[in-house]
A and B are shown apart, each in its own frame.
Chain A
Amino acid sequence: MSSHYEAPIRKPLIIGDKSYHDITLEVAAPVEGKANKLWWIVFSIALIAFLWGLGSIIYTIGTGIGVWGLNKTVGWAWDITNFVWWVGIGHAGTLISAVLLLFRQKWRMGINRSAEAMTIFSVVQAGLFPVIHMGRVWNAHFVLPIPNQFGTLWTNFNSPLLWDVFAISTYLSVSLVFWWTGLLPDFAMLRDRAVKPFQKKIYGLLSFGWSGRAKDWQRFEEVSLVLAGLATPLVLSVHTIVSFDFATSVIPGWHTTIFPPYFVAGAVFSGFAMVNTLLIIMRKVSNLEAYITKQHIELMNIVIMITGSIVGCAYITELFIAWYSGVEYEQYAFLNRATGPYWWAYLLMMSCNVFSPQFMWSKKLRTSIMFSFIISIVVNIGMWFERFVIIVTSLHRDYLPSSWTMFSPTFVDIGIYVGTIGFFFVLFLLYARTFPVIAQAEVKSILKSSGDNYKRFRDEGGANPAPVVSKVVETKAKEVVEEIKGSSEERTADLMSSLGVFDSAKQTADDLKQISGVGPKLEQTLNSIGIYSFDQVSKMTDNEYNLLDSLLDSFKGRAKRDDWAGQANNLKNNG
């Protein structure tokens, strides 16, 4: 079918000779396997940071906002800096899943699941800060337009702070359903592979009974498309409205019409940097280098380069407009930023955000994994300082020189910030061990067009599409078959002697269909050979697999690929 054709100039998005089943196995592997030591170490550090943050939050709520470093002049500092930083990081997830879907960019499929997870987890962190900053958090419901004890006292819909409440909560909830809808088929895959009853139950619950009917897929694709269409303006509106928190005020340095596009570009910039940070580690740890390829990292680096340059343009425009406006307060605000007591923060912001992404013009640097990782960290630091510069340096020298002051954070400020980083990584690490971290159903749908082996086959002039994967397996299986001698009766006897004969009088037959890869028909075949129990299957080694393959007409090599013995061993111990 010609529909699998893709221009040869496009680089493969799935490396290696993958079949649909290989994708299933490799996406399920991190979930079905055991966590290694490194995971536990990182998780413990994140958990300790989270608990420290939790302690700091409880201390703040119990004692009051006075425990922070805020003063009469600098009324917003780390809290709002962290809030904007986290919301910004969240933007890349929706951008990857929604905007790249609308532009039909196939490379989003390897990374969209984790990017969306990152979005949701970072928006959760962001949401914490305004809530804590309210001081009396038990009155948090006052931000909602609900009837209260004062009768008809409503929220002020003219206030950008209230717009923010609506924007952030819409963004969080819509991202969540977008993410979950995409997860249903992949949870279903884990459910159908699950061996232990507990896992089967949990993934059955999470997958909402997804069955993969043609009509469901048709609706699924339409819903994804419409959600992408809705999420695209939504994601732009969220950081626009965050920037209104500043832009609608009359503080020099904040009262700027360039803020909305400048904030959105900065958000995408920092978000892609965080996606790079997380995925460069995850592809290695979870063995997903075939799906999150160098090409993916290079493309993300290009987005970082472009959005970083937009942010650079915005910085320079701001400076120019401040000078050109002729307003001396505005001029002083920017002069103070660059040359005042916070010059070091301004320098850090400029070098991390404007200078460092320019290295990505070099093909050699942007395809270097190590360099991409370093730049992604640098960008995250730079974007934190951007918000710090905008917020603190605009406030600390206000209209009244007698109240000029500096801001220094207390251990509580630092604790809450570090705590949210810990919380974020706790969530992300748990996600990486329990969720299908690649949208495997979608990746399967591009295997024939963008898979390495299929592309190579077409480049060599092969007919389209090329079912090369099964051929390789088949020839291997055939070679083995030839080595095995004797009639099928002898081979059956040989197999049964190593697996042990099933005695129906003493033992009860197990439901072999619980082994992933065994269907009702195959179970019958196995029974006819004399295999009834998990105990027998668990004894299988390479020799027995070959004997079994020689007895089966189809599914050759399948038993070994699916590791029936290992599965049966689990089932035996859990049954």
Chain B
Amino acid sequence: MSSKVIQAMYNDDDILMDAVKEVRAASHHIEEVYTPFPVHGLEKAMGLKDTRIAITAFMYGCVGFSFAVWMMNYMMIEQWPQDIGGKPSFSFLLNMPAFVPIMFELSVFFAAHLMVITFYMRSRLWPFKEAENPDPRTTDDMFVMEVSVDGNEDELISFLEKTGTVEIKVTEKH
């Protein structure tokens, strides 16, 4: 398979959406689409799968909750039980109501931070990471669709020109 891609630039999100649908209908492979803002429905038009990041957040929340339960049981009940204000710490269940606020806070803490870290890792975002958008205008008002060249290059270019693009560039895949 050729490693060449064609970058077609659009200046409007609706034109881009129609173009994505046309390109998909003509069964060309869309490598990537770069947009300056979230275009609603684009991921459906491109055929991207739903993200599972919310599920990971739920699991991280469960981890945080379990950690809170384990920590407070270990510190307050098992390791050094004290009689605070006439309320002895000899049973986890009887002391549990006082632990609810921290169980909640730690569940949220774990879910939020670990989910965001997962997002940064999966989307490869971190300090000193080089940006990979093909043109600086894609964070301003331009939309770039990257279509992989599979077969006749000129045919694909003339096909893309009819989809309302304002600029076309042929380049090697990075």
Contacts and interface: CB of A to CB of B under 8 A. Distances in A.
A21 B121 CA distance: 30
Size class of B's contact patch? 35 or more
B36 to A, nearest CB: 6
A38 B123 CA distance: 41
Contact of B32 (A24, A160, A177, A214): A214
Nearest to A164: B101
Interface in B4-23: 9, 11-14, 17
Contact of B84 (A156, A222, A223, A521): A156
Given A222-B51, A226-B54, A441 B122 contact: no
Interface string A217-257: 11111110111001101100100010010000000000000
B51 A219 contact: yes
Nearest to A554: B166
A214 B48 CA distance: 9
Contacts of B109: 166, 170, 173-174
A520 interface: yes
Nearest to A464: B14
B41 interface: yes
B150 to A, nearest CB: 20
B51 A218 contact: yes
A219 B131 CA distance: 17
Nearest to B116: A177
Contact of A209 (B82, B111, B125): B125
Contact of B53 (A158, A217, A226): A226
A237 B41 contact: no
A219 B53 CA distance: 7
Interface in B123-174: 123-133, 135-141, 166-167, 169
Most buried by A among B11, B131, B140: B140
B96 to A, nearest CB: 11
Contacts of B128: 205, 209
Contacts, number: 227
Most buried by A among B40, B84, B112, B122: B112
A353 B106 CA distance: 34
B42 to A, nearest CB: 5
Nearest to B144: A212
Contacts of A210: 125, 131, 139
Nearest to B125: A208
Most buried by A among B12, B33, B119, B135: B119
B119 A181 contact: yes
Nearest to A201: B128
Contacts of B62: none
A24 B141 contact: yes
B125 A218 contact: no
A145 interface: yes
B41 A192 contact: no
Given A211-B131, A237-B101, A19 B141 contact: yes
B115 A226 contact: yes
Given A157-B75, A163-B105, A230-B111, A189 B116 contact: no
Interface in A138-194: 145, 152-158, 160, 162-163, 166-167, 170, 173-174, 177-178, 181, 184-185, 188-189, 191-193
Contacts of A215: 43, 48, 51, 123
Nearest to B12: A467
B43 A192 contact: no
Contacts of B39: 214, 217, 445
Nearest to A158: B98
Given A3-B41, A20-B140, A157-B75, A170 B105 contact: yes
Nearest to A443: B37
Interface in B97-113: 98-99, 101-102, 104-106, 108-109, 111-113
B32 to A, nearest CB: 6
B79 interface: yes
Contacts of B43: 214-215, 217-218
A345 B91 CA distance: 46
A166 B32 contact: no
A207 interface: yes
A222 B53 contact: yes
Contacts of A237: 101, 104-105
A208 B101 contact: no
A184 B84 CA distance: 47
A511 to B, nearest CB: 12
Contacts of A230: 57, 61, 108, 111-112
A216 interface: yes
A510 to B, nearest CB: 16
A557 interface: no
A218 B108 CA distance: 22
A178 B112 CA distance: 9
A391 B15 CA distance: 61
B72 interface: yes
Contact of A20 (B14, B79, B80, B141): B141
B76 interface: yes
Contacts of A153: 80
A157 B99 contact: yes
A212 B35 contact: yes
A505 interface: no
A177 B102 contact: no
Interface of B: 9, 11-14, 17, 32-43, 46, 48, 51, 53-54, 57, 61, 71-72, 75-76, 79-80, 82, 84-85, 87, 89, 95, 98-99, 101-102, 104-106, 108-109, 111-113, 115-116, 119-120, 122-133, 135-141, 166-167, 169
16 contacts: A158-B84, A158-B87, A166-B109, A191-B139, A192-B136, A193-B140, A209-B132, A213-B33, A213-B123, A213-B132, A222-B51, A230-B108, A237-B104, A441-B37, A448-B14, A519-B137
Given A158-B95, A217-B37, 8 more contacts: A20-B37, A152-B80, A170-B105, A170-B108, A209-B124, A211-B131, A215-B48, A465-B14
